[in-house]
Structure 1
């Protein structure tokens, strides 16, 4: 028995035979074309257009976050700047295959060098280029294998177009060599509740047909498992299935302490969250309205989206985050200036203060949507928060401007150590705080959350991160203000218990994680949670913190 390690997505466990992803197409030769320039140009345009339409169609079938991802890929296939690069190579006598390959590779290298969010998009460009070249060659694009039986899919990485349409009757689990916890593969796997381990760099040694256990909770792939290990994994999978099918209840500890369980959403489509028992929304990301646009959406366009969201949760809390964008997610109308270190640059509230009209339009749309849904008798309890707040003065600024528009509950996200350490002063002005554990971990451990090479540092179990969470929880208790968690840490059932022990009053997560967390909390008292939290805080690293909490929770 051997264990390979990566980053687990979710809490699932699965077992089955390996089937490896087909290798990418061989690069085209740099040969001169035998066709005319007009003929090669026509071939290239037809292939690029066909791939764009195919990606859009896949997106329509997939829906949800997958649709947004695939539509972004379709835009890559038709990007005017890329088309110009392809044309330049065609004009120099290249074949359409080589022109596409070389132009896309050039753009890919530029994105990879930038790192962060844009670096993650380099793999998307590779996939689009492969699909266009396959179209030009008249062959099928590399994709998911079909061995004729259920299997564990192993790939270097998985393109969004493939992840979005995986046959969940056949794909038991997903293992990738590349990618981090916020890659498109991870995001879509989480949304579809696929058992997945990403960034398992040694998984290339896995062989077709060999049986493995994929344990997302532990972030491991077990090869040559024993009969006992297979049976134990099967029992865990059955227990999770039973928990998922149990009657929906409100989030609460075993002693009756209420802990509302909310959903993280990236679009107004809330049907899945409602069906899985979300008690509201703890993080609504408004970026979907802005990304990929050349101009900011109008107040009317924004209002329509917000009304749909608020109408889906009548009487329930809905926390909306105003636009979180910056140099790592450049917007032509906000901030597209190059920055050497975008994670530390003009992003979040900083960017909105520099373009205050965008913030004011967003608050106008939110206030109008709130008023409209309340007048129709189906309004939600709207809370609005600012991203990347790092100072008390920023808090005062945002709360003040939100009040101008009649926002009754205005808060801030705690994502940087400074705001955690000053939480008592920040909560003297804000109505609530919501801890974004993804960024808080990134800034505490100085490890880019999108960079696979430092993925091991991106662990919210680290005692340094937990101490900062405790600072905010303690400040919340002293000021009588709510403190929520809306980062991926809330989706870890054991860590959710620890976060409650540190003072979290609500937890927000991907809807597919709700059942696991609900069951974990229901088996724990507040005293248990506090004991597990104290044990984790005494540890020296993330692994020992998890172990200490586990031991304390089972005493």
Structure 2
């Protein structure tokens, strides 16, 4: 196995094929394909005799209960985000509404397996129609369907393959229940036919440091045992690679690891231009690893974990305790807290309207303060209380700011609670285009490239079929980043990037060249980003940014910067 970050696509030969996708995990890995097992096949439908309806319904409910229990067991065996995702999935399986629907179908004459299948199909259609966060849960629901149908038939639960040797995992998509227990010693790389740069697979790959390619539709033709080379930087899967190609990839990865080991401390370019390197933090179980990372603090502290999967907001004591734990772990360093980003992909029953026809364009992020201003006030009070007795440098930023007036009002609220540093996230084109006006109303800007891409390209981030538009290398997206960065510089305001783009070492060069002053990513990504910055001057970064902006699309931008960086290294 080889892993790394800065790689180039292997050339195709008469014996190879190059399958294109979106690279979301750095480095490369070579090995044989092992595909996820196909779900259990439904038996032919049979009509249930009225006298057997109670037993049939009980069998279906028992299958759902078994799935929920299995997922809870898996959640107990892992920590961090994985446990939360699995527990949420278990709650879906245990939903009484689902069980009632299955019972009604059995009462109508369906057998248990087909009642489960039909009930999940109906729920799936509802989630797809809702879009946003709900549409992202479709893969989870499909996995629950497969597990329930297997359970009611007495078959083994779907799971990861076990060929007896390390392998490249290939699947249509990956569900949390499978990936939560994934062993990086066995799984060398991930390839999925669906998914995009913000998918569950992409997030997992960054956490585990695995090469990964998502949205690779041609991977459907890959069969078990086929040797492949996965290049997570180039976004390619090379079939039947020759030994020289594999050796070249291994050598590049080794050079990358050596370069990362040689550089530590604050981020800076080869000529000394400072670029703060920060970590993203999404839950307390991630805290130890995040605090131990060689970083200058937290660039994005997501606070949603305190609010999700609850019927009411967390108490002031709960919030203050959680925030203080994080602040204490980062004493002497910066912690940028993002206030609650509810709505759209994170609906909350106590704040989110259930009847919004298009939640992604509705009341989300800072806009929820219009509906429930006390929710924001309570959070700011808890942050302020936690910050009183800490040595951390606490910054607070609002998500989904669209106009300068919102930034001004948020800054005033932050100041009223005694917090010194208030910022606005740039996630919609309107904010980027008027970033100078936004910057005048607050102390810093932070660019969320995931949502900014979604809104700039009118492409739902949950749809794998539109993943190419969500590629952070898209020149139009980079143009918006440049606009915001230049506006911040004109107002003497720092501008950071906390989206997935910050984790890509080559793209980090471009972002710095565009004027970004800090980068926030998963802890495992910082070493490669630091080493890549240290090998390039600020002028190099600006030249590479120009190449990316001039490219016609994301693929061409990535190739132009990669080739330009190689040429600079040789001169």
TM-score when normalising by structure 2: 0.92
Change (3 A) 1:43 1:551: closer
Match of 1:423 in 2: 435
Per mean C-alpha deviation after superposition, the further-off stretch among 545-554 and 276-285 is: 545-554
Q: How does 1:504-519 map to 2 (within 5 A)?
A: 504-519=516-531
Q: CA deviation at 1:415?
A: 0.9
Match of 2:460 in 1: 448
Question: Deviation digits for residues 35-56 of structure 1, max 9, x if unmatched?
Answer: 6444334333333222212212
The separation in 2 between residues aligned to 1:44 and 1:173, in whole angstroms, is 36
Match of 2:46 in 1: 31
Q: CA deviation at 1:162?
A: 0.7
1:255 matched to 2:267? The reply is no
The counterpart of 2:110, out of the listed 73, 91, 94, is 94
The counterpart of 1:18, out of the listed 33, 45, 66, is 33
The separation in 2 between residues aligned to 1:62 and 1:281, in whole angstroms, is 24
Residue 199 of structure 2 contacts residue 462 of structure 2 at CA under 8 Å; is this kept in 1?
yes
Q: CA deviation at 1:30?
A: 2.9
Question: Deviation digits for residues 292-327 of structure 1, max 9, x if unmatched?
Answer: 221111111112211121111111001111111214
The separation in 2 between residues aligned to 1:548 and 1:17, in whole angstroms, is 31
Residue 407 of structure 2 contacts residue 438 of structure 2 at CA under 8 Å; is this kept in 1?
yes
The counterpart of 1:471, out of the listed 458, 483, 498, is 483
Report the 3-state secondary structure (helix = DSSP H, G, I; strand = E; otherwise coil) of the residue aligned with 1:270.
helix
Residue 197 of structure 1 contacts residue 219 of structure 1 at CA under 8 Å; is this kept in 2?
yes
Match of 2:362 in 1: 345
The separation in 2 between residues aligned to 1:120 and 1:193, in whole angstroms, is 23
Match of 2:138 in 1: 122
Per mean C-alpha deviation after superposition, the further-off stretch among 302-311 and 268-277 is: 268-277
The separation in 2 between residues aligned to 1:266 and 1:62, in whole angstroms, is 16
Report the 3-state secondary structure (helix = DSSP H, G, I; strand = E; otherwise coil) of the residue aligned with 1:31.
coil
Match of 1:286 in 2: 303
Q: CA deviation at 1:91?
A: 2.6
Q: CA deviation at 1:551?
A: 4.2
Change (3 A) 1:296 1:142: same
Q: How does 1:93-242 map to 2 (within 5 A)?
A: 93-242=109-258
Residue 417 of structure 1 contacts residue 444 of structure 1 at CA under 8 Å; is this kept in 2?
yes
The separation in 2 between residues aligned to 1:407 and 1:346, in whole angstroms, is 26
1:311 matched to 2:328? The reply is yes
Match of 1:361 in 2: 378
Q: How does 1:336-415 map to 2 (within 5 A)?
A: 336-372=353-389, 374=390, 379-415=391-427
Report the 3-state secondary structure (helix = DSSP H, G, I; strand = E; otherwise coil) of the residue aligned with 1:9.
strand
The separation in 2 between residues aligned to 1:129 and 1:182, in whole angstroms, is 23
Residue 327 of structure 1 contacts residue 336 of structure 1 at CA under 8 Å; is this kept in 2?
no
Match of 2:10 in 1: none
Per mean C-alpha deviation after superposition, the further-off stretch among 357-366 and 332-341 is: 332-341
Task: Name the count of aligned residue pairs.
Answer: 550
Residue 176 of structure 1 contacts residue 199 of structure 1 at CA under 8 Å; is this kept in 2?
yes
Match of 1:525 in 2: 537
Q: CA deviation at 1:59?
A: 1.6
Q: CA deviation at 1:223?
A: 0.7
Residue 19 of structure 1 contacts residue 147 of structure 1 at CA under 8 Å; is this kept in 2?
yes
Per mean C-alpha deviation after superposition, the further-off stretch among 5-14 and 461-470 is: 461-470
Residue 213 of structure 1 contacts residue 230 of structure 1 at CA under 8 Å; is this kept in 2?
yes
Q: CA deviation at 1:164?
A: 0.9
Residue 337 of structure 2 contacts residue 395 of structure 2 at CA under 8 Å; is this kept in 1?
yes
The separation in 2 between residues aligned to 1:122 and 1:431, in whole angstroms, is 39
Q: CA deviation at 1:446?
A: 2.1
Per mean C-alpha deviation after superposition, the further-off stretch among 8-17 and 467-476 is: 467-476
The separation in 1 between residues aligned to 2:171 and 2:397, in whole angstroms, is 38
Q: Which runs of 5+ in 2 are unaligned?
A: 1-15
Residue 427 of structure 1 contacts residue 433 of structure 1 at CA under 8 Å; is this kept in 2?
yes
Match of 1:322 in 2: 339
Match of 2:281 in 1: 265
Q: CA deviation at 1:479?
A: 1.4
The separation in 2 between residues aligned to 1:551 and 1:129, in whole angstroms, is 46
Q: CA deviation at 1:129?
A: 2.1
The separation in 1 between residues aligned to 2:344 and 2:182, in whole angstroms, is 33
The counterpart of 1:439, out of the listed 451, 457, 465, is 451
The separation in 1 between residues aligned to 2:293 and 2:384, in whole angstroms, is 28
TM-score when normalising by structure 1: 0.95
Residue 12 of structure 1 contacts residue 195 of structure 1 at CA under 8 Å; is this kept in 2?
yes
Q: Which runs of 5+ in 1 are unaligned?
A: none
Question: Deviation digits for residues 426-472 of structure 1, max 9, x if unmatched?
Answer: 11111000011111122222222221111111122222222221222
Q: CA deviation at 1:244?
A: 5.2
Question: Deviation digits for residues 186-232 of structure 1, max 9, x if unmatched?
Answer: 22222222221111111111121111000111111001212221111
Q: CA deviation at 1:333?
A: 0.8
Report the 3-state secondary structure (helix = DSSP H, G, I; strand = E; otherwise coil) of the residue aligned with 1:318.
strand
The counterpart of 1:72, out of the listed 88, 91, 101, is 88
Question: Deviation digits for residues 457-508 of structure 1, max 9, x if unmatched?
Answer: 1122222222221222212222111111101111111110111111111100
Per mean C-alpha deviation after superposition, the further-off stretch among 345-354 and 156-165 is: 345-354
Cα RMSD after superposing both structures: 1.8
Change (3 A) 1:334 1:343: same
